[in-house]
Structure 1
Amino acid sequence: MQYEITHLPKEKWEGFIVPIGYTTDKYYDVTVNKKDNGFTIDIEKKDFDVPFVFTPDIYDYPDKLYQKHWENACASGVLVNNELIAVIETDQELWSNRLRITELWVHEDYQKMGLGHALIEKAKQQARNEKRRAVILETQSCNVNAVDFYMHEGFTLIGFDSCCYSNDDLKKKEVRLEFGWFNN
């Protein structure tokens, strides 16, 4: 089945809660070791002892469309029977000439059907059209499906933040990972 990606106007979709949730039995373990001459950083896929379940209510529903801090956000999505089943939101990072994917979500019933790929391709095309040097995004080290999907889509690890969500992100196995796709 072919799905149409359509613009989601701010006037209608501002504040829409993107219900990102997942369950995983794996994570990317991030370790930072201080040495006499610097640091070593290892990121290795490992198994959780018990599955990790992320639900949006854990962080008081942080994923919303057109949040105030994204000044130039633009959202597009796929609607089926007037219900949003997939969405991508981007914002220009003008100072570094990059395009940031701020939200990406596909309803679990519609995953593995090419919608995520189509939305990523839309962002890449936007970057080309705007002559942005890269598309960047963040995900969590415990969201293995997302990490693996982004790598499959041509993104590479460009950095991490070991205390983005709490002061215990490394222990909690929930480290912010930054990925980038370069517009060459």
Structure 2
Amino acid sequence: MSAALVNPIRYRPIDWSRDGPALQAFDAAYVTDRCYRVVADGLGFTLHDVPLAVPFRKRYDLSGLDEDIAAAGFTLIAHQGESVAGFATATYHAWQRSVTLDNLFVAPARQRRGVGAHLVAATAVYARGTPARQVWLETQTTNVAAIDFYRAQGFGLCGLDLALYDPQQVDPREVALYLARPL
């Protein structure tokens, strides 16, 4: 019998008192051998997919995750036994009629197995229960795997911000990209 059938991935709302320690220890990192370089072109921008001579490594700081979860209108954790397979948080913003996908992480060992797609689909179900017109998110030009994943989930590029990230805090290759998926 397959291990997936014996110990399937289950989904439920996040309970910080129960899930906090595992979420704080979650491996929120990625490594990539390519990134997007943003080139200004008159009044527009072009993204160029460029290979990197040295792989880029990023580890997300989850120290404020408890506050994100407390403020979120939607939370979902994917777990397989005691192991966290992934999680998502989202917030509805009435002023723009949008749901922001604040956090979506999938454990490296569980990637490309449907966990992320399930988290996105569940976020869309939550969003459809609000007056939202779209689900919106921000990621970085260095997170090519995430960009590819979100595009496969129906998100499209809707903007960028060359100055969002403090260059003293992040790698200068990181530019904020915004993606949206209409509901």
TM-score normalized by structure 2?
A: 0.84
Match of 2:56 in 1: 52
Distance 1:147 1:168 in 2: 24
Q: Deviations along 1:28-83, whole A, 9 cap, x unmatched?
A: 111224x4xxx231112111121111123xxxx24643426973443111122222
Q: Name the SS for the 1:116 alignment partner.
A: helix
* Structure 1 residue 180, shift from structure 2 partner: 0.3
Pairwise mapping of residues 62-141 of structure 1 onto structure 2 (< 5 A)?
62=62, 64-67=64-67, 71-141=71-141
1:114/1:126 CA distance change after superposition, 3 Å? same
* Structure 1 residue 85, shift from structure 2 partner: 1.6
Q: What is the total number of aligned residue pairs between the two structures? A: 175
Match of 1:19 in 2: 27
Distance 2:20 2:75 in 1: 10
TM-score normalized by structure 1?
A: 0.84
1:81/1:66 CA distance change after superposition, 3 Å? same
Q: Deviations along 1:104-124, whole A, 9 cap, x unmatched?
A: 111111111111101100011
Match of 1:43 in 2: 47
Moved more, 125-134 or 13-22: 13-22
Q: What residue identity is the alignment partner of 2:11?
A: I
Distance 1:105 1:69 in 2: 14
Measured on the aligned residues, the alpha-carbon RMSD in Å equals 2.5
Structure 1: any 5+ residue segments left out of the alignment? none
1:105/1:90 CA distance change after superposition, 3 Å? same
Distance 1:92 1:111 in 2: 26
Match of 1:3 in 2: 9
1:72/1:89 CA distance change after superposition, 3 Å? closer
